[in-house]
């Protein structure tokens, strides 16, 4: 079904468009003449008259004039055009008459004065100078914080390795030391003087002694030692933890010289017998067969002399072999220490010396019987020394000799030094535990010659040297607090910092001194798990939000200068306003042109006020045509729903055929007499209909297919509110 469309032809609107187009064309022509400076007085008067005529023709209805420009009295402006043209100047006697100078000269003079004022203003602080000073003070504060942060970090980086290397320091002591380091760094910094020096070199404080003093005091008050402590001791910056090192825990049982008596050693370690004081080990470390059953932290230290003086029918070299196997079976503590720790004694060193002697004899004379070689070699060392039978077993079991050569001579555990002989001669082989052991191993392995091995045996055989002076030397040199030794059976130590655990464990001494089965000595040492602190500096960006510098009032000097600036800026504002009132540069404004073209004959004084009125009117008229055109287009769009210009609509209407058949009878419909009575497009059509002539050419109605390129309209749609209001 075909949609019915109502089309409207606005003859009056078309007329208005034609008039405004003429005005716009005139304005464009006159504007070009003005900018080219080719306009004459006759051109001006012609333009004003023609524009006045066209405006009156276009806005021939007072109601439409008001609807177009209800906010301004446009009609009054138009009506004033002839008066301006007719009287471009006032009588000579009018008090407002003045002689006009060249606008170019006036503007130039004002510009020079403006430049002078501008230069003068630049010498004084602006209203935001206080904030600028505060901002600079904040930057200086941050630079000081950065400097102190760097100094504190350097101090802590030097301190932390020392804290971590101290095995005895606890966490609370570490924190105290760190706090003291931070305090020392902050207190040693000349804060106030540094602030003053930095402010003096800052351009924002140049010559402002009062401002420098005020901000120095302000910044100094913001700094707090506690703030820096909290800043560098925070969890995000510094990590201080305590770790428990269970590998350091040990339950040590130390036993003196066993001299080949394996069975008595097993009886004591298994808890079957007591020592000479009637004490058993706290818990069995081996079973009755000599197998290791100790706990993960249990350790046995044997302070040397496994060789010689063994029970009858027992070879001490075989006892050494059993110790070697027990050491392998027991394994190692978490820190790598063997649970069975055997220390080299003088009899053990002598056995190694005899072993190497026998090796040399056999190498020189391979045909010599081993029995003969062992008998000869056993006589070259201590007397009495290793038996030929023991030596042959040791020679035939080289692994025992190699194992023996790799055993330490001295060891320390939590400040307790264990060694075989009660001598100070250990220090001849080094100033530390590791140096002494390595030197003696080099000697027993014959890397330093057999002579050195003979000397070592002699040194270890000495006894009774641990007087108070020598004990102090040993403990200070090796970093201990107590000494435990064997070697000197049943001898009472000369210093209470020394313990002798050689009580004659072997059967040899039992028979010699008439001791029973409960014999020998042992001491115990319980070492707890170590608590070690771990201090770490984290590479974290430190927070600086807690220190904020307040904006202080300007100093008296700057405050007075600021007032001067305000007065100068007021003058500058007034000058700029004068320049604005004078207009733009000469040659591009209307006023200079009007002064040239409206130039009365000599003797008549030019009226600047009249020129201003005419110039303002012409300047506003340059865009007046466009304003009216835009307004008419908007009204057309609101009425039709389309943006087609009237010329296109006119062409569409002219092409409509057989329109007489579709024109309804509108004569009998009441005609609205004002815009306020228009509610529908029918009302609008009647309102625009020329009721005086009843001419059907004034308004036409027609229908159009919905697929047509022309606009569509519903006859009963209400007139937009915009048009009602006008």
| Residue 551 pLDDT level (bands cut at 50, 70, 90) | confident
Of 4-18, 131-145, 463-477, give the range with the top mean pLDDT: 463-477
DSSP summary character for residue 676: G
- How confident is the model over 408-419, as pLDDT tens digits? 999 999 999 999
Average pLDDT value for residue range 252-265: 96
Distance CA 698, CA 245 (A): 111
Task: Give the pLDDT confidence score for residue 117 in this predicted structure.
Answer: 67
Mean pLDDT score of the chain = 73
| Whole-number pLDDT of residue 339 | 97
State the pLDDT confidence band at 583, using cuts at 50, 70 and 90: very low
Q: Which comes out higher in pLDDT, residue 382 or 457? A: 457
In terms of Cα–Cα distance, which of 635, 641, 628 is closest to 724?
635
pLDDT at 673: 59
CB count, 10 Å around CB of 575? 17
Cα 459 versus chain centre, distance = 65
- List residues bridging with 251 in a β-sheet: 298, 526
Of the pLDDT bands very low, low, confident and very high (cuts 50, 70, 90), residue 137 is: confident
Residue 254, strand partner residues: 301, 523
Query: What span, in angstroms and rounded, lies between the C-alpha atoms of 49 and 510?
Result: 152
Longest pairwise C-alpha distance within the chain: 165
Residue 691's pLDDT is 40
Tell which wins on pLDDT, 467 or 155. 467
**What confidence tens digit (pLDDT) does each residue in 81-92 have?**
444 444 333 233
Question: Is-contact 345 257, C-beta < 8 A?
Answer: yes
Superfamily the domain 250-527 falls into: Metallo-dependent phosphatases (3.60.21.10)
How many residues does this entry show for the chain?
726
C-alpha pair distances (Å), 205 with each of 125, 216, 343: 11, 11, 78
- What percent of the chain shows pLDDT beyond 90? 35
pLDDT at 526 over 60: yes
Among 256-265, 572-581, 627-636, which stretch is predicted with the lowest mean pLDDT? 627-636
| pLDDT band for position 59 (cuts 50, 70, 90) | low
Tell me what pLDDT residue 630 has: 55
Three-class secondary structure of residue 300 per DSSP: strand
The span from the CA of 631 to the CA of 620, in Å, is 16
Question: Angle CA(636)–CA(637)–CA(643) in degrees, nearest 5?
Answer: 110
Question: Is the pLDDT at 690 greater than 50, yes or no?
Answer: no
Listed by start position, the domains of the chain span 129-245+536-547, 250-527, 628-725
pLDDT the model gives residue 550: 72
Least confident of 125-129, 352-356, 442-446, 671-675: 671-675
Q: Is the pLDDT of residue 648 over 80?
A: no
What's the pLDDT score for residue 222? 82
Stronger pLDDT, 609 or 19, i.e. the higher one: 19
Give the C-alpha separation, 293 to 151, whole Å.
56
Among candidates 670, 696, 683, which has minimal Cα distance to 723?
683
Token pair of 624 as six digits:
């007046």
- Per-residue model confidence (pLDDT) at position 389: 96
| pLDDT (mean) for 601-610 | 40
- In angstroms, the CA 688 to CA 253 distance is 127
What span, in angstroms and rounded, lies between the C-alpha atoms of 673 and 676? 8
Q: Indicate if the pLDDT at residue 644 is higher than 70.
A: no
pLDDT tens digit sequence for 276-287? 999 999 999 999
Better-scored residue on pLDDT, 600 or 422: 422
Residue 24: CB atoms within 10 Å: 18
Position 472 pLDDT exceeds 80: yes
Structure confidence at residue 622 (pLDDT)? 43
Q: With CA atoms as reference, report the closest residue to 245 among 535, 533, 529, 528.
A: 529
pLDDT for residue 524: 95
Q: How confident is the model at residue 548 (pLDDT cuts 50, 70, 90)?
A: confident
CB 576 within 8 A of CB 108: no
pLDDT over 70 (residue 667): no
């Amino acid at each position: 079904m075909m949609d019915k469309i109502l089309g409207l032809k606005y003859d009056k609107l078309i007329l208005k468009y034609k008039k405004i187009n003429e005005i716009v064309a005139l304005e464009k022509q006159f504007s070009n003449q003005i900018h080219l400076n080719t306009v004459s007085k006759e051109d001006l008067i012609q333009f004003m008259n023609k524009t006045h005529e066209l405006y009156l023709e276009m806005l021939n209805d007072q109601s439409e004039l008001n609807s177009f420009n209800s906010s301004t009295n446009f009609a009054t402006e138009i009506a004033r055009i002839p008066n301006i043209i007719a009287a471009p100047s006032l009588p000579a006697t009018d008090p407002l008459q003045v002689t006009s100078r060249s606008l170019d000269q006036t503007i130039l003079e004002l510009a020079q004065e403006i430049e002078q004022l501008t230069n003068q203003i630049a010498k004084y602080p602006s209203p935001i100078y206080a904030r600028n000073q505060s901002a600079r003070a904040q930057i200086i504060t941050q630079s000081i914080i950065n400097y102190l942060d760097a100094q504190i970090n350097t101090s802590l980086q030097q301190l932390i390795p020392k804290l971590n290397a101290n095995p005895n320091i606890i966490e609370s002591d570490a924190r105290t030391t760190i706090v003291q380091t931070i305090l020392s760094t902050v207190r040693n910094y000349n804060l106030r003087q540094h602030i003053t020096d930095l402010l003096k070199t800052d351009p924002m404080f140049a010559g402002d002694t009062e401002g420098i003093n005020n901000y120095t005091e302000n910044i100094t008050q913001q700094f707090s030692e506690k703030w820096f402590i909290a800043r560098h001791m925070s969890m995000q910056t510094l990590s201080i933890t305590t770790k428990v090192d269970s590998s350091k825990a040990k339950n040590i049982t130390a036993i003196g010289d066993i001299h080949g008596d394996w069975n008595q050693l097993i009886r004591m370690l298994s808890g079957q017998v007591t020592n000479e004081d009637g004490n058993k080990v706290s818990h069995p470390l081996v079973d009755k067969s000599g197998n290791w059953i100790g706990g993960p932290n249990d350790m046995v230290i044997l302070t040397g002399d496994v060789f010689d003086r063994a029970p009858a029918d027992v070879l001490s070299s075989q006892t050494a072999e059993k110790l070697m196997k027990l050491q392998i079976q027991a394994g190692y503590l978490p820190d790598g220490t063997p649970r069975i720790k055997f220390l080299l004694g003088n009899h053990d060193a002598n056995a190694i010396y005899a072993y190497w002697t026998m090796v040399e004899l056999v190498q020189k004379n391979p045909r010599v019987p081993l029995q003969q070689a062992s008998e000869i070699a056993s006589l070259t060392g201590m007397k009495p020394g290793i038996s030929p039978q023991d030596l042959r077993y040791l020679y035939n079991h080289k692994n025992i000799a190699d194992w023996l050569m790799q055993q330490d001579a001295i060891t320390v555990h939590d400040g307790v030094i264990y060694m075989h002989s009660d001598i100070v001669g250990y220090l001849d082989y080094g100033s530390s535990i590791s140096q002494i052991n390595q030197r003696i191993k080099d000697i027993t392995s014959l890397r330093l010659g057999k002579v050195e091995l003979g000397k070592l045996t002699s040194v270890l055989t000495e006894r009774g040297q641990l007087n108070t002076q020598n004990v102090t030397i040993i403990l200070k040199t090796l970093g201990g607090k107590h000494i435990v030794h064997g070697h000197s059976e049943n001898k009472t130590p000369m210093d209470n910092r020394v313990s002798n655990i050689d009580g004659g464990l072997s059967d040899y001494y039992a028979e010699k001194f008439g001791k029973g089965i409960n014999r020998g000595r042992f001491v115990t040492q319980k070492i707890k798990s170590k608590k070690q602190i771990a201090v770490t500096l984290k590479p974290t960006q430190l927070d600086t939000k807690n220190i904020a510098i307040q904006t202080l009032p300007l100093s008296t000097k700057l405050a007075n200068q600021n007032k001067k600036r305000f007065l100068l800026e007021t003058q500058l504002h007034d000058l700029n306003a004068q320049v604005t009132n004078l207009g733009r540069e000469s040659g591009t404004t209307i006023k200079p042109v009007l002064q040239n073209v409206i130039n009365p004959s000599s003797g008549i004084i030019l009226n600047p006020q009249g020129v201003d009125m005419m110039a303002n009117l012409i300047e506003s008229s340059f865009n007046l045509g466009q304003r009216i055109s835009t307004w008419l287009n908007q009204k057309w769009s609101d009425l039709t729903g389309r943006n087609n210009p009237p010329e296109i609509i006119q062409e569409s209407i002219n092409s409509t055929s057989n329109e007489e058949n579709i024109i309804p009878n509108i004569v009998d419909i009441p005609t609205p007499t004002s815009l306020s009575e228009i509610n529908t497009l029918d009302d609008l059509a009647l309102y625009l209909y020329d009721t005086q002539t009843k001419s059907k050419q004034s308004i036409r109605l027609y229908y159009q297919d919905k697929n047509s390129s022309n606009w569509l309209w519903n006859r009963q749609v209400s007139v937009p509110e915009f048009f009602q209001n006008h």
